[in-house]
Amino acid sequence: MFFVATAALAQHAPPVRDESPSTVEISSAGDGSQTVAIRNTTYQATAELLLRKTTRSKQVLGDIGMEASVALEVWRLGDDPRGKPLYTLTVEGAEGRVVDNALFVVSRGLEETEWWSVYQLGSGRRLFDTYVPLLSFSISRAALTTRYAGLEVPPDDTPDNTKDARLKRPNVVAALRYASADRVIREVLVICDDTEKAKLLRSYSDTTRTLAWGEGSLQLSFSRNYPSQPDTVEIRIPVRRDDLDLAHSRLPPGLHLSP
């Protein structure tokens, strides 16, 4: 009887309706430059949540970089979006997307360097930043057990710009995060004995970093950009019992992993 009553209430719930305009404005300056300002609003629903995402951007055509922000408002599915949301998240960034109905990932690279911030979708709490695309994978073949990984890389020339004191050390190359949708399970620092090589490995302009999953291991690589020879540095970190197995990791000489 409880099921029938609940179903009946759901069938007679009042309809929910909301709308928000999207706009574009193009203006010209005295020097002939044109500025384009865009506001886009989109809606998305998960099994439990209603999301309203508003992206604002302002760019002078032909210039590098732009002003942009992403605002996410979240309600329980079925709640009136004219009421107070569960939370509102506003971040400087060009775009935001939902991953696995569990995370909200914002593209933060408004200048030349690409990077992303990762948030819990249900709470809006920030999990970590990553300077490679967020990696999503299952650690089990028998049942879907989704985990995530990202790599935060401190600036190679202005380390004071980072808020994390651990990343300001000159021999730190990057911070690797291994996480579930709820929390960061493990964080390790990639350390290089040679501080000059560490600076090169974390260079935004001279080095390309990739993060992949295969054969039960996280595979991290650093490659020099053209016209230099790739001189690729590879690190493999196995995952055992839902944690990073640092003892059986494989690294080139001179590189270390620090919990």
| Cβ-based neighbour number of residue 48 at 10 Å | 12
Q: Residue 11: what pLDDT?
A: 55
Q: Is residue 15 part of a domain?
A: no
pLDDT in tens, 66-81: 889 999 999 999 999 9
Asked whether residue 149 is assigned to any structural domain, the reply reads yes
- Assigned domain for 255 exists: yes
**What single letter denotes the amino acid at residue 209?**
R
Taking residues 89-100, report their average pLDDT: 95
pTM exceeds cut of 0.85: yes
Q: How many domains, in total, are found in the chain?
A: 1
| 75 within domain boundaries | no
Does some domain include residue 175?
yes
Average predicted confidence (pLDDT) for the chain: 89
Q: What are the tokens at 161?
A: 């710009």
pLDDT of residue 8: 45
**In-domain check, residue 196:** yes
140 occurs within a structural domain: yes
- Position 1 in a domain: no
- Range of 161's domain? 125-259
Question: Nearest-CA neighbor of 126 among 116, 114, 117?
Answer: 117
